[in-house]
Amino acid sequence: MRAEDVRGADPVPGRSARVNHPARCLWAVGQLRREHATIHGLARQLGTSWKTVWRAVEPELVKLAADESRFDGVTGDLTFPSAVSRRATYLATFERLGLESLGGVPGSWAAASGFDAVAALPDDTPPFALIAANDIVATGALRAALVRGWSVPGHMSLTGWDDNEQSAYLVPSLTSVVLDREELDKNSMRRLIAAVRGESPPAPATGLQRVIWRESIGAPSGVADLGFST
C-alpha cells in the first residue's frame, strides 16, 4: 500500500475531479440517500478511491443532516375560508421565523393533491417537512414519497390535520392535529349569544388544538444512518 493511500490521498492524480464536480457530488449524495448505494460502490463507478468519494460527499451529508428548516405545504381548497386562513398563518409564521419554504401548493382536500405535490418536486430536493391540509392529503403525500424511494421521516417529515382514525395505523403512523370540536362549538355559541344580547364577547377559547406526535416526524437522515463506515 502506498503512503498516499494511508494518508487518504487519491493515488491517481486527477481522479478526484470526477466526484468533486458539483453535479457529480450531488448525484453521489442522491445515490447514497435514496438508492442505498455504498461509498465503495460509488468509488468503483467513478473510477476513484473510496476516500476521495467520502471527502467530497461528507460535507454535503453533514449539511443536509443539520438543516431542518425546509418546509413545504399543501393547502385545502382555497375557496374555503379555513384553507385561506391556514395558508396565511403558514406564510406569516415562516416569514417571522426565517424558515425556508419550498413554495406551498394549492390543494383540494383530496389525497391526489398531496400525491401530486410530492411527485412534482425535483429529484434533488433535500430533506424537508411537509405540512398537509388534512390527513387525507397527507396520505397521498406519503404514498408519493414512498413511490419515489424517499423515506418518511428520513427524507420527508409529514404532518396532517384532523387525526382521522386510520392515521394511527399508517406506516409510518401519521402525526396529526386533533381539534376539540365540542369546546369549539360551545365557545362559538357563547360568542353568538353575547352578540345577540349586545354584550362583550367571551374570551377566545384556548387549547382547542393538540398535536398527536407519531412516527412520520423525525430528524433528517444523516451520516450516522447511511449504513456504511470509513
Across the chain, mean pLDDT equals 76
pLDDT-based confidence at residue 116 (cuts at 50, 70, 90):
very high
Whether the predicted pLDDT of 72 surpasses 70:
yes
Dmax (CA) for the chain in angstroms is 91
Residue 225 lies in a domain: no
Residue 224 lies in a domain: no
Q: What local confidence, expressed as pLDDT, does residue 2 receive?
A: 37
86/57 same-domain check: no
Q: Write down which residue in 66, 81, 99 finishes a domain.
A: 66
Q: Write down which residue in 66, 84, 111 finishes a domain.
A: 66
Looking at residue 79, which CATH number applies to its domain?
Answer: 3.40.50.2300
133/212 same-domain check: yes
Most confident option among 13-27, 38-52, 85-99, 176-190: 176-190
74/55 same-domain check: no
Cα–Cα distance, 201 to 203 (Å, whole number): 7
User: In terms of pLDDT, which residue wins out, 50 or 74?
Assistant: 74
Q: What local confidence, expressed as pLDDT, does residue 225 receive?
A: 41
Query: Buried (b) or exposed (e) across 136-153, using 16+ Cβ within 10 A?
Result: bbbbbbbbbbeeeebbbb
Q: What local confidence, expressed as pLDDT, does residue 83 receive?
A: 81
56/167 same-domain check: no
Q: Could you tell me the residue range of the domain that residue 148 belongs to?
A: 70-219
* Listed residue (195, 176, 192, 194) closest to 184, CA to CA: 192
Q: What local confidence, expressed as pLDDT, does residue 159 receive?
A: 93
Residue 226 lies in a domain: no
31/129 same-domain check: no
50/96 same-domain check: no
60/74 same-domain check: no
pTM: 0.61
Tell the burial category of 55 from Cβ atoms under 10 Å away from its Cβ (0-12, 13-18, 19+): middle
Beta bridge partners of 70: 100
Number of domains composing the chain: 2
For residue range 133-162, list pLDDT tens digits in order.
899 999 999 999 999 999 998 889 999 999
Q: Cell 391526489 sits at which residue?
A: 112
